């Protein structure tokens, strides 16, 4: 979505011309959930003057009740009008940063934390860290009460089209809605699994790309519901078929262009690209906790369903964690394939950038590329090639995160402490739950 340089007066004029009646102030909590404070336009001056307050103690992982006053500072470049809510007048949207009463950025705000980490590029003269996301999602039918079922909306497969792909009309409407909001949609197709879809949109700098992901999720869920469908970004909703990923295509730019590209380098990649790649590989086990943040994420990261399981890279092979797509020049990029759409995009980009910058700072060298199928290699062959496993559970991922101070610092103490505690409780609750699988396996046998 192209950013628009709007002044307060511009927004007031648009509100008047378009009959906008409500302002939706959006932000994202530590768990990646979109939060809203909706106010009537009578509060517009207060909103635009950064005086709109909310109770931070009501948001998981934010603050204790005795320090609950938080301020919403709207980013005017994120202004948009939602096209689907016009029964009582239109709704305008602004994405906000969170500030404390002291006028300082709130350390628990994921968007503000990413802005902090992005400043680390300055020492290298980098001007932007770009992200091209590829989010996948499933469409399930809803029952007569409007609750999601486990019935898929189609039996389509990769790149199928109607009548097999019954989600085509819904997906087309999503694309049209996104385009009306300024998204540049690059691809839209049915994915491998039945009921699974992917819509790719043009890369943008890290903050804007993360804003776009959150807006995208909102649009997908809203339009799906109009078609009587429930859209879910849960990584692995069904056993036995592919899960949903959100591959992240990353590139660094300076004033001269894409710093990952070098016409004379090996594979036409620059030394900086290889250093960044080495940093991503070095910290992979730790940042997995952030990029794959829920118990269910690890049901996707298993062999046989196209998701990566091993820490390795390749220019051709699709089984490793990191792939180098063939495009060069401005499009030179590294594609991290482990990330899933349950991830908080702001935290994800913070840890990935910090991992890459660590590789550059310390002049790290990646191991050799792996151009064969890792899934058929023996454990000894993998060890010899310096290929190790991603964590198999959120519990193991959190343990790896705890041991990696650079990744902890990328989150900041407030976010790390609250994220770690939330995940510890999530794992404890999951571990104590008795599943249907266990009853099927053991109830009669023992």
Query: Token pair for residue 262?
Result: 């070098």
- CA proximity to 312, closest of 402, 250, 372, 357: 372
Number of H helices, E strands in the chain: 14, 18
Judged by DSSP in three states, 205 sits in strand
Q: Which residues are annotated as a binding site?
A: 134, 136, 186, 191, 198, 201-203, 242-243, 247, 300, 306, 318, 335, 337
Instruction: Tell me the CA distances in angstroms from 75 to 38, 158, 271, 369, one per residue in order.
Output: 16, 38, 36, 42
198 is catalytic: yes
Query: Token pair for residue 247?
Result: 């591959």
Catalytic residue among 190, 197, 337, 395: 337
Cβ–Cβ contacts within 10 Å for residue 131, how many?
25
Q: How far is CA 263 from the centre of its chain?
A: 31
144 is catalytic: no
134 is catalytic: yes
Q: Are 321 and 284 in contact (CB under 8 A)?
A: yes
136 is catalytic: yes
386 is catalytic: no
191 is catalytic: yes
Place of tokens 């001269």: 256
Q: Is 222 exposed, middle or buried (0-12, 13-18, 19+ CB in 10 A)?
A: middle
Q: Which residues are annotated as a binding site for L-glutamate?
A: 242-243, 300, 306, 318, 337
Q: Which residues are annotated as a binding site for Mg(2+)?
A: 134, 136, 191, 198, 247, 335
335 is catalytic: yes
End-to-end CA gap in the chain: 58
Catalytic residue among 29, 97, 109, 136: 136
Catalytic residue among 198, 262, 354, 358: 198
Catalytic residue among 97, 335, 354, 404: 335
Place of tokens 């290889």: 274
- CA proximity to 30, closest of 289, 382, 215, 231: 289
CA distance 274 to 337: 17
Catalytic residue among 29, 134, 165, 211: 134
Cβ–Cβ contacts within 10 Å for residue 262, how many?
18
Catalytic residue among 55, 143, 371, 389: 55
Catalytic residue among 191, 262, 340, 404: 191
Judged by DSSP in three states, 406 sits in helix
CA distance 228 to 272: 48
Catalytic residue among 93, 247, 323, 395: 247
Cα dihedral 72/60/396/386 (nearest 10): -10
Q: Which residues are annotated as a binding site for ATP?
A: 186, 201-203, 318
189 is catalytic: no
Inter-helix orientation angle 413-432/394-402, to 10°: 150
CA distance 201 to 219: 13
Q: Are 156 and 167 in contact (CB under 8 A)?
A: yes
Q: Which residues are catalytic?
A: 55, 134, 136, 191, 198, 247, 318, 335, 337
């Amino acid at each position: 979505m192209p950013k628009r340089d709007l002044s307060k007066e511009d927004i007031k004029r648009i509100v008047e011309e378009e009959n906008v009646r409500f302002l939706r102030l959006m932000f994202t909590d530590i768990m990646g959930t979109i939060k809203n404070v909706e106010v009537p336009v009578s509060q517009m001056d207060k909103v635009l003057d950064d005086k709109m307050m909310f109770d931070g103690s009501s948001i998981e992982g934010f603050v204790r009740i005795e320090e609950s006053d938080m301020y919403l500072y709207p980013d005017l470049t994120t202004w948009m009008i939602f096209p689907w809510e016009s029964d009582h007048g239109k709704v305008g949207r602004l994405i906000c940063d969170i500030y404390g009463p002291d006028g300082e950025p709130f350390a628990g705000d994921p968007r503000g934390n990413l802005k902090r980490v992005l400043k680390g590029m300055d020492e290298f003269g980098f001007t932007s860290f770009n992200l091209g996301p590829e989010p996948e999602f499933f469409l399930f039918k809803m029952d007569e009460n409007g609750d999601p079922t486990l019935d898929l909306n189609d039996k389509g497969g990769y790149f199928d089209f109607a009548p097999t792909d019954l989600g085509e009309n819904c997906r087309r409407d999503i694309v049209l809605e996104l385009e009306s909001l300024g998204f540049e949609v690059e691809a839209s197709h049915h994915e491998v699994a039945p009921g699974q879809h992917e819509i790719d949109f043009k890369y943008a700098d890290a903050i804007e790309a993360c804003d776009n992901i959150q807006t995208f999720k909102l649009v997908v869920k809203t339009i799906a519901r109009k078609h009587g469908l429930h859209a879910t970004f849960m990584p692995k909703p069904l056993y036995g078929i592919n899960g949903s990923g959100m591959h992240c295509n990353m590139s660094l730019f300076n004033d001269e262009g894409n710093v990952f590209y070098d016409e004379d380098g090996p594979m036409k990649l620059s030394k900086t690209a290889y250093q960044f790649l080495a940093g991503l590989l070095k910290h992979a086990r730790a940042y997995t906790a952030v990029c794959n943040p829920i118990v269910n994420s690890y049901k996707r990261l298993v062999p046989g369903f196209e998701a990566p399981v091993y820490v390795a890279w390749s220019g051709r092979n699709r089984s490793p964690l990191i792939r180098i797509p063939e495009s060069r020049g401005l499009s030179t990029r590294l594609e991290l394939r482990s990330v899933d759409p349950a991830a908080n995009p702001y935290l994800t980009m913070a840890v990935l950038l910090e991992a890459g910058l660590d590789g550059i700072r310390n002049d790290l060298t990646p191991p050799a590329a792996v151009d064969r199928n890792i899934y058929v290699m023996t454990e000894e062959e993998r060890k010899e090639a310096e290929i190790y496993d991603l964590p198999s559970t959120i519990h193991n991922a959190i343990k790896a995160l705890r041991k990696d101070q650079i990744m902890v610092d990328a989150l900041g103490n407030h976010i790390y402490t609250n994220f770690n505690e939330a995940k510890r409780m999530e794992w404890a609750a999951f571990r104590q739950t008795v599943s249907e699988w266990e009853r099927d396996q053991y109830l009669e046998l023992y």
